[in-house]
Structure 1
Amino acid sequence: MIVRKRGNYFILVKQHDHGLVAGEIAAHINEPIQPLAKTLFAISHHDVGWEELDQTIRWNEEKNRPYDFQDYPLLPKLEAYTQGIARVVANDHYAGFLCSKHYASFFTNETDPAARRFREQELTRQHQLREYFTQTEEENIARNFRLLQFCDKLSLFICLSDPGENRNLWYEDGIFYQGKRYQWIWEDRHRLRISPNLFIQSFTLDIPYQLVDAYRRLVGSETYTLQVLV
C-alpha cells in the first residue's frame, strides 16, 4: 500500500494501481520507446506482485497505522516481489527483465541475508532472460530501465501527495531524468502539469483509493481523477 494521513483518516492506494498510473504516464511521454509495448507493460505491471498483499490492510502496531510499501515486513514482501516478477516474465521476457532489474536495484548494498539472496536470484534470472533479447531490446535496456524508474517516481509523487499540495519531501527538489530536473506543478486540486513539459498531449489519470479510520475500519472506496496538462 501507499499510505498517507488525512486528518483522522488514512488514504490507501494499492501498489498495482500506482503502477498502472506509472504506465499511463509513460504512454504519454514525448520520446521514442523501443520496444514500445513490452516496455509499457513492464512499467504498468512492475508492482503487480503486491496485488495479493494489498487485498488485506495489515496494521503496523508500533506506528499505529497501516503498513506501507516501505515498512512492510521484508520476507512476505520479497516473496511478493518474486511472484510478481514471475508473472510479468510469463507474459514477456523483456518486460520481466526490466521489473527484475528494478527490484534488484533496491538491495544493491543490502546486508540482510534474505535480501541478498533475493538480489542474487534476480541477477541470475536477468542473465538467463537476456538470452532471448533482440538487438533492439538489448540496446535499449538502460534507457527503458531509467524510464521505468522515472515513471515510478512521477506516479509515487502523485499518490503520496495531497491533491493540490507539494508537501512530499522525497521530491521537493524535483525528479531527475536524462540530465534534467522535472517538477510537478499543481494548477488546482484536480489539474497539474510537469515542468518542463514532456508529454505529447493532456491526459486523465484515475486513482482508486481506500479510506480507513483510526479504528482500522474501512469507511470508503473512491476514485480520484486528475487532469495532466501540457
Structure 2
Amino acid sequence: MVVIVRPHQLPDGRSALFLIPQSVHAALSGDLASHWGNGDFASLVHPEVVWPAIFHHDDGWIPVDKAPPVDPDTRRPVSFLDSPAADSHAIWTRSIEGAARISPFAQYLIAEHFMMLREHSHSADSEAGRTFLAKYEELTEGYRDRWESLHPLCSEAEVKLAVGQLRFFDWFSLWLCLADRTEPHTLEVPPDDAPLRITPCEDGVMWTDPWPWTVDDMHVCVGGWLVPDRDYEDTDDVLREMTDWRRLHWRLIPKP
C-alpha cells in the first residue's frame, strides 16, 4: 500500500526488494516535467500550478511511506498496486486537500487524476469506489470554479491537457521505478498522443527520440531502501531492515 516494491538482484545472487516511497516517485515525475516542451511537445499548461501539482500529487502518502505494512499472505511489504480501495481513498484525499496550498486548480488536477484511476480499476463499482467518485465529481467543479474566477482564460483544451500532463509524468516516473528497463518502450504524450521512444542503454543511459526537453540532457534519480527479500512479521520487522538507502540514476539523452 505504501511503496513501490521493485525486485532487485544483489551481486552475490541473493534477491532483495527496493522500496521506493510514493512521494519520492512523485518528485521524479516533477523532475521529468522540468524543462519540458521542445519541438512539437507542448509545454506545461500554467506551469506555476501544474508543475508543483505533478511534483506533490502523492504527498498524501508521506505519513505512511515511512512505515510499510506487511501483506499477511505474502509476508512482504505491500505495494501501492495492491492497496485496498478504502485505504487509497483516504490517502488520495490527503493529497487533494493538501494541494490547496498550491491552488484550487492543483486540487482539481489531482482529484481528476485519482478519479480516473478509480474509474478504470476493478473496484470502480464497489461501494467505496462509488462513494469516492460521487464525492469528487461534486468537489472538482468547485475547485475549477474557484480557479476560473481568477483565471477566466483557462480553456477547456488547457484543462484537458493539464490533466493529461499530470497523468503522463506520473506514468513516466512509474515506468522507470517499477522495474529495471532493458527493452525500448514507447510512451504516448498528450495532447495528441505523440509517440516518445525510450531506448535503455548501459549505465542508466536512455536514448530518447524525439527530444522533448529544452535542455541538452536530463539526469534524474530516485532513492529508496534496499531490504532483504524475506518473510516479514510486521511493519516493525520491515523498519529494522530499512537502513540501506540507495539511489537509482538515469541519464536521458537525444538518440544519436
- Match 2:248 to one of 213, 224, 229: 224
Q: How does 1:142-221 map to 2 (within 5 A)?
A: 142-162=160-180, 165-166=182-183, 174-177=186-189, 178-201=192-215, 202-213=217-228, 214-215=230-231, 216=238, 217-221=241-245
TM superposition shift of 1:100:
0.5
Larger Rg: 2
SS in 1 for 2:201: strand
1:102 is matched with: 113
2:138 is matched with: 124
Distance 2:224 2:136 in 1: 31
What TM-score comes out, normalization by structure 1 length? 0.90
- Relative to structure 1, the CA distance from residue 188 to residue 77 in structure 2 (aligned partners, 3 Å threshold; closer, same or farther) is same
SS in 2 for 1:115: helix
TM-align CA RMSD: 1.8
SS in 2 for 1:189: helix
What TM-score comes out, normalization by structure 2 length? 0.81
CA deviation map 1:80-127 (0-9, x unaligned): 110111000233111111000000111226111112111111111111
Structure 1 counterpart of 2:103, one-letter code = D
1:169 is matched with: none
- Match 2:7 to one of 5, 8, 18: 5
Is the counterpart of residue 25 in structure 1 residue 25 in structure 2? Answer: no
Identity of aligned residues (%): 19
Q: How does 1:36-51 map to 2 (within 5 A)?
A: 36-51=47-62
SS in 2 for 1:33: coil
Decide whether the 8 Å contact of 1:35 with 1:136 is kept in 2. no
2:12 is matched with: none
TM superposition shift of 1:57:
1.6
Compare 150-159 and 219-228 and name the one that shifted more.
Answer: 219-228
SS in 1 for 2:18: strand
Structure 2 counterpart of 1:35, one-letter code = H
Distance 2:63 2:115 in 1: 20
Distance 1:143 1:197 in 2: 19
Decide whether the 8 Å contact of 1:193 with 1:228 is kept in 2. yes
Number of residues paired by the alignment? 224
